[in-house]
Each structure stands twice: as C-alpha cells, then as structure tokens.
C-alpha cells in the first residue's frame, strides 16, 4: 500500500492496514500452508496493536525470526505452541542436514583454488536441497522432431535449435520457454528421480556440454518432448497443449 508517490484522494492520504485471519488456533489456511503454524504463532505473539509501515517492518520481522528466551513470551508455555515449535525445529534440522552437502568446504591451505567448489551434485539438486517448503522444478520445454531439436510449434515459429552453445540472444529466447512442473515432481520422494531422469535425457541429447557453457542456461533443466509433444517422466505421461499447458496423466 502506498508504495508509490502519487496524488491520492483526501480520504486515502493516510494508509491503514488491517490484519485479519490472525486468531490463535484459527489461522488462515493459505498462510498456514506457506509459513507453518509456528511462525504464525510467533507473529501473533509480537504483533503490536499499532505499527508504522514500512519503518517497523524490519523490527517486526526480526522479532519473529530471532530466537527469544522462554520468559519473554507466555505463549512458550502453551501446548500447541510447543508442538508447533518441535515440528518446525525438526524441519529446520532436515533442511540444514540437506544443505551441508552443498556447502563450500572449510578454509585451509591449498596449493590451488581449482576444485574448491566442486561437488558430486548438480546445480538443480543443490537448489532443491536448500529450498524451504515443497520444492518446485522449472524446466525449459523444447521438442525433438526427427534428428533435430526445435522450439515448440507454437513458439518462435518452431525454429531449429543447435546442440552447440547458443549465443546470448538465442539463449534468452530459449530461457523464455521455461515452465514449472506440477507440484508432485517437487515432492521429497520424487524430486531426485525427476532431476536424474531429466539430466540423463539432456546428456543423451548432448545439451549439457553445449548449453551449460552459456551463463543464461547453465544449471537449467531441459524437458525434450517428442513429435506428439509428449514425454515420460517418473512413470507419468506429460503432454504440452497450447490451450491447457502441461497435462499430466498416468501411464496405462
């Protein structure tokens, strides 16, 4: 609200923000899905009756996310808060454990910096490992027709694509052909398999050698559709429709 300097009606000169859906134990379902009960409980505990925006925002955010002692808030003693806190702590421990595999190694004397940042995991796996909440996979969608790769028939006039490293202008156009896979492919039990299958196809097509030399495309996943605009991923059939987007169905 009031993010821009502009002329406003007299009745709207002063912005007023009303916080709704913040009753203890009855949080908005969408908010609870995104942030979790623990953070919403902490937010409610520190939310003042009056705040000046945006000046107070950094202090309010810090009050929620900084650790505070038990005696600083009576909500620390409530059973539902303790349960939510334990669930949150377990989740953070899992995320921290996953992220450690992608951390830069400890500083020590080396004869060379070569290989310092190398890990056995791909960029896509690293990105997925440190995301909070359900992961999502974004892929560039192209098509194979015969022995050549192309833009989709409804995009860029179905222009042919090179295996070699594309120039910056073409790489930006290719990047514009990206979309997010359905949420199921980002779930913990499927995301590693999805990344592995996509990377195997990219390697077979020769794309990792050429396209990953482009700073626009490095680390991006590519999904290659057949002449019917279909592919198989993790045991599911995916079909691209100009009208419907990406349609998923189980294999018969």
Q: Of 44, 63, 98, which one is at a domain's C-terminal end? A: 98
106 part of a folded domain:
no
Is the pLDDT reported for residue 107 higher than 70?
no
54 part of a folded domain:
yes
Structural domain range at position 72: 10-98
155 part of a folded domain:
yes
Q: Domain check: are 73 and 186 in the same one?
A: no
CB-based burial, 142-167: b 16+ in 10 Å, e otherwise: bbbeeeebbbeeebeeeeebeeeebe
Q: Domain check: are 162 and 216 in the same one?
A: yes
Q: Domain check: are 93 and 127 in the same one?
A: no
Tokens standing for residue 5: 């300097």
Task: Give the mean model confidence (pLDDT) for residues 152-157.
Answer: 78
Q: Domain check: are 132 and 245 in the same one?
A: yes
What is the pLDDT confidence band of residue 222, given thresholds at 50, 70 and 90?
very high
Q: Domain check: are 47 and 130 in the same one?
A: no
Considering only CA atoms, give the Rg of the chain. 24
Q: Is 150 left (phi over 0), alpha (psi -120 to 50) or beta?
A: beta
Is the pLDDT reported for residue 105 higher than 70?
no
Number of folded domains that form the chain: 2
What is the pLDDT confidence band of residue 71, given thresholds at 50, 70 and 90?
very low
Tokens standing for residue 45: 């505990």
Q: Domain check: are 94 and 128 in the same one?
A: no
More confident residue, 51 or 240: 240
What is the pLDDT confidence band of residue 35, given thresholds at 50, 70 and 90?
confident
More confident residue, 179 or 154: 179
The mean-pLDDT minimum among 108-112, 116-120, 165-169 falls in 116-120
Q: Domain check: are 79 and 128 in the same one?
A: no
74 part of a folded domain:
yes
Residue 233 pLDDT: 93
Q: Domain check: are 136 and 239 in the same one?
A: yes
What is the percent of the chain where pLDDT is above 90? 24
Q: Domain check: are 219 and 155 in the same one?
A: yes
220 part of a folded domain:
yes
Residue 70 pLDDT: 41
- Angle of the 57-65 helix axis to the 37-46 helix axis, nearest 10: 130
Q: Domain check: are 178 and 90 in the same one?
A: no
- Average pLDDT, whole number, for the chain? 81
Residue 72 pLDDT: 56
Is the pLDDT reported for residue 46 higher than 70?
yes
48 part of a folded domain:
yes
160 part of a folded domain:
yes
105 part of a folded domain:
no
Is the pLDDT reported for residue 58 higher than 80?
yes
Task: Give the mean model confidence (pLDDT) for residues 124-150.
Answer: 75
């Amino acid at each position: 609200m009031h993010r821009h300097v502009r002329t406003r009606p007299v009745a709207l000169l002063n912005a007023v923000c009303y916080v709704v859906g913040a009753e203890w134990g009855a949080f908005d379902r969408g908010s609870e899905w995104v942030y979790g009960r623990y953070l919403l409980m902490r937010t409610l505990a520190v939310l003042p009756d009056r705040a000046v925006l945006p000046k107070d925002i950094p202090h309010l955010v810090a009050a929620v996310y900084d650790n505070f002692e038990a005696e600083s808030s009576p909500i620390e003693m409530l059973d539902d808060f303790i349960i939510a806190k334990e669930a949150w702590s377990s989740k953070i421990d899992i995320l921290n454990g996953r992220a450690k595999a992608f951390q830069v190694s400890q500083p020590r004397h080396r004869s060379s910096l070569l290989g310092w940042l190398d890990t056995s995991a791909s960029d896509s796996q690293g990105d997925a490992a440190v995301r909070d909440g359900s992961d999502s996979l974004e892929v560039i969608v192209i098509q194979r027709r015969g022995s050549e790769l192309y833009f989709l028939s409804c995009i860029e006039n179905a222009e042919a694509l090179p295996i070699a490293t594309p120039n910056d202008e073409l790489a930006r156009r290719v990047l514009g052909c990206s979309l997010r896979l359905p949420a199921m492919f980002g779930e913990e039990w499927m995301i590693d398999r999805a990344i592995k299958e996509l990377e195997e196809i990219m390697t077979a097509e020769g794309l990792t050698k050429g396209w990953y030399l482009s700073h626009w495309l490095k680390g991006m996943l590519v999904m290659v559709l057949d002449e019917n605009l279909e592919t198989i991923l993790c045991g599911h059939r995916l079909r691209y429709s100009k009208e419907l987007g990406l349609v998923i169905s189980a294999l018969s």
